[in-house]
Amino acid sequence: MVAGGFGVGKTTLVGSVSEIVPLRTEALVTNESEGVDDLEAVPSKSTTTVAMDFGRITLGEDLILYLFGTPGQKRFWFMWDDLCRGAIGAVVLVDTARLDEAFAPLDYFEAKGLPFIVAVNTFEGNRRYALDDVRAALAIPADVPMIEVDARDRESAKEALIRITEYSLTHLDRSAAVAR
């Protein structure tokens, strides 16, 4: 899964890394969203995901990831449970200009017990912060991987997917060992 708040780059990340033409459920941002969606921080955003984004990437001969990008607007979060059914993990995208919007997605995956990494999207014009400072501001446990990502760049997005796959496999190995 690729998750996060409104306008953090989920659709961009799925599109930049997918080896197929991604399925996008984009709708125009209209006046109907006034008072419902906070568009102040992303005034140039003209579309929004209303269901999901879907893509696919082959990481190895026997490893294909199906990518599901979640809608970022709170009014569509009811779909997250269905989208994460069967997921091995999540990449939670974060915009340092709007850290407050990261708490709910992070809380969601912590409560689900689904492995996740935090990927700080490097937006042009945004101030860069040390990952340790972002970790502290978001109260991310030390064992949760944090990386910087440029959602527009295929290799950067691919690194995020490799990272969550490795982290998820580590969690599966630990769970299997505990179950024995």
Give the percent of the chain with pLDDT over 70. 80
Hey, which residues does 53 pair with through a beta bridge? 24, 69
Q: Is the pLDDT of residue 39 over 80?
A: no
Single-letter amino acid code for the residue at 128: R
The pLDDT tens digits for 82-104 are: 888 899 999 999 999 889 999 99
pLDDT in tens, 93-146: 999 988 999 999 999 999 999 999 999 999 877 888 999 999 999 999 999 999
Q: What is the pLDDT of residue 168?
A: 94
DSSP of 19-45, one letter per residue? SSPPEEEEEE--GGGTTTS--TT-TT-
Residue 119 identity (one-letter amino acid): A
Q: How many structural domains is the chain composed of?
A: 1
Query: Which amino acid is present at 156?
Result: S
Q: What is the pTM of this model?
A: 0.83
| 61 band by pLDDT with thresholds 50, 70 and 90 | confident
Full domain range(s) for residue 81:
2-179
Average pLDDT, stretch 154-173?
Answer: 92
Pairing type for strands 2-4 and 90-94 reads: parallel
Provide the CATH number for the domain around residue 91: 3.40.50.300
Distance from C-alpha of 133 to C-alpha of 118, rounded to nearest angstrom: 13
